[in-house]
Structure 1
Amino acid sequence: MTQLLRTIDTLRFWLGTAGQVGLLLMVLLMLFGLLVMLPAQQKLQTLREQLDWMQAQPKAQARPAPVLAETQQLQQFYAQFPPQDSLSERLRALHQLAQESDMDLVMGDYKLSHQRDNTALQRYEITLPVKARYGALRAFIAQAALRFPTLGLSDISIKRDGIQDDEAEVKLSYVWLLRGDGA
Structure 2
Amino acid sequence: MRLQLALRRMNPLIGGAVLLLVALIGAMMWTAMARAAVQQEYAAARLQAAVPAPPPPPAAPPSADQNLAHFYGALGERGKVERQLKLVFALAGKNGLLLRQGEYRSTYDRNAKLYTYQLNLPVTGKYAAIWQFAFDALRAVPHASLDDVSFRRDAIGDENVEARLRMTLYLSATAGVPR
Unpaired stretches in structure 1, ≥5 consecutive residues: 1-51
- How much identity, in percent, do the aligned residues show? 27
Distance 1:82 1:167, change over 3 A: same
For residues 2-21 of structure 1, what are the structure 2 equivalents within 5 Å?
none
Provide Cα deviations, 1:121-161, integer angstroms capped at 9, x if missing partner: 21110011111111211211122222222211111121111
Local SS of the residue matching 2:156: coil
Query: How many equivalent residue pairs?
Result: 128
Partner of residue 28, structure 2: none
Matched, 1:178 2:171: yes
Matched, 1:80 2:71: no
Counterpart-to-counterpart distance in 2, 1:141 and 1:67: 33
Counterpart-to-counterpart distance in 1, 2:83 and 2:149: 24
Counterpart-to-counterpart distance in 1, 2:117 and 2:160: 28
- Contact map agreement 2:79 2:173 (CA 8 A) in 1: no
Matched, 1:149 2:142: yes
Matched, 1:99 2:93: yes
Counterpart-to-counterpart distance in 1, 2:146 and 2:62: 32
Q: State which of 58, 61, 71 in structure 1 corresponds to 2:65.
A: 71
Aligned structure 1 segments of 4 or more residues deviating by more than 6 angstroms: none
TM-score by length of 1: 0.61
Q: What is the root-mean-square deviation in Å for CA atoms of aligned residues? A: 2.4
For residue 90 of structure 1, what is the amino acid of its counterpart? Q
